[in-house]
Amino acid sequence: MPSRHKLAIFGDSNLGAVRRAWEAGLLRFHGYDVEFWGAAGGDYRAIHYGKGALRATTPEAEETVLLVNGNGRRALAATDFDVFVFYGVRLRLAEFFAAYLEVMLDPDRAISDAALACAAAQFLQERRAVRMAQMMRADGAKEIVFVYAGFPSWGIVNQAEEGRLLAKTPRIVEARAEHRARLWAALGRVFDDLGFGFIGQPEETVVRGMFTDPIYAVEGALEKEDANHKSPGFAALLLKKRFD
């Protein structure tokens, strides 16, 4: 019988969609022994990398991590798994897309692919999860794959309200596939240069420029005004081509 690879799925509150997809049989991860590891909210912020492993730095966060993991794994060491998936992990790519789509859609402005590449590199280097992954890679992690957990779902909240995406960048609803493709390509090249895999958002799930089709919103999204979390079906769509 062929040996199975060890897969760790690390993330923030978006990790729940992956776990539900796996438990429902929407994802099978053929050939992998799977463990989940991570935390939500403030407990996620208390996870840091040091001495070869990701660890929770507060008792409350450690309790959450152990609950999520279910196998008593207090630390996620760089050499313990064959593959690490960083799911969600607060990449905040909607901020990147909104800023540069607004530029591309302005007839009086333009941006080159070289400038986009520099912007993508700088943006990702500012993400704490990317820096943690770089340290893991330096300490022997074999493969790390980043997965974006999706643009906000359309129609769940009023995106034109102050502080939301359309308040500062109203043109983004006009963005077309070719605009998005330039940004995905820029991000993909940076992840590739860093030695990481990357799974962006499938084009068929995008509506209104850079929002997620509400059919993929988490259950009860309208009642909870939760435009950020997605359904198990969405998580399965992202991961199954790579892992099934």
Q: What is the pLDDT of residues 74-126, one digit of tens each?
A: 999 999 999 999 999 999 999 999 999 999 999 999 899 999 999 999 999 99
The band of 4, judged by pLDDT with boundaries at 50, 70 and 90, is confident
Please say if the pLDDT value at position 227 is more than 60. Answer: yes
Average pLDDT in the 1-5 region?
70
| Cβ pair 166, 159 in contact under 8 A | yes
What is the residue-averaged pLDDT of the chain?
A: 96
What pLDDT shows up at residue 2?
57
Q: What is the per-residue pLDDT for 232? A: 98
Mean pLDDT, residues 199-214 taken together: 98
CA neighbor of 94 nearest in space, from 40, 167, 149, 176: 149
What pLDDT shows up at residue 70?
96
Query: How far is it, in rounded angstroms, from Cα 101 to Cα 209?
Result: 9
**Distance from C-alpha of 142 to C-alpha of 162, rounded to nearest angstrom:** 43
**Per-residue confidence band for 241, with pLDDT thresholds at 50, 70 and 90:** confident
User: What amino acid occupies position 77?
Assistant: A
Query: What tokens appear for 119 in the block?
Result: 């912007």
User: Is residue 134 within 8 Å of 128, Cβ to Cβ?
Assistant: no
| Structural domains for the chain | 1-90+129-149+230-244 (3.40.50), 92-126+152-187+206-228 (no CATH)
State percent of the chain over pLDDT 90: 96
Using the predicted structure, report yes or no on whether residue 200 has a pLDDT greater than 80: yes
Judge whether residue 1 has pLDDT over 60: no
> Considering the entire predicted model, what is its pTM?
0.96
Measured distance CA(179)–CA(225) in Å, rounded: 28
